[in-house]
Amino acid sequence: MENISIEPTKKSLEVECAAGYFKLSGNSILSDPRKFFQPIVEWVEDYIKDPSDKTTVDLKLEYVDTASVQSVFDIMRLFKPLQDKDKEVAVNFYFEFDDPELLELGEIMEGRLGIKFNFIEYQ
């Protein structure tokens, strides 16, 4: 399985997909988020068939529009079955100290997904 590495733009996320590591970072203000996220979804679907014993997920979102939030949630949902396979999933959710809305988004995702998040505040 080939890794994915996407450089960020002002409107799109930085993406890293490698065995044992997954990262989404930056802004997601996309006219067609499904098109952007489709190869990422496919990568995660392949990865969970033969995952590492531990998978670290870093989410460092700055601004995510409503359509992109759904895509991020859908991707994160794919990681849930790993816990059922006795694999460790460590989700690090980074948020700026002055952005309570983003923190709330992380808390909602954690509750709906049933995956424990590590909330990490930064300035």
- Per-residue pLDDT at 85 exceeds 90: no
> What mean pLDDT value characterizes the chain?
96
Write down the pLDDT at residue 1.
83
H helix count then E strand count, the chain = 3, 6
d(CA 72, CA 70): 5
d(CA 25, CA 2): 20
- Per-residue pLDDT at 45 exceeds 90: yes
d(CA 62, CA 47): 26
Question: CA separation (Å) from 73 to 46, 103, 115, 121?
Answer: 17, 15, 12, 20
- Per-residue pLDDT at 84 exceeds 90: no
Please state the rounded mean pLDDT for residues 35-64.
Answer: 97
pLDDT tens readout for residues 14-38: 999 999 999 999 999 999 999 999 9
Distance of CA 106 to the CA centre of its chain: 10
- Per-residue pLDDT at 77 exceeds 90: yes
Partners of residue 23 on adjacent β-strands: 16, 58
Write down the pLDDT at residue 113.
95
- Per-residue pLDDT at 50 exceeds 90: yes
pLDDT > 90 fraction of the chain, expressed in percent and rounded: 94
Considering the entire predicted model, what is its pTM? 0.94
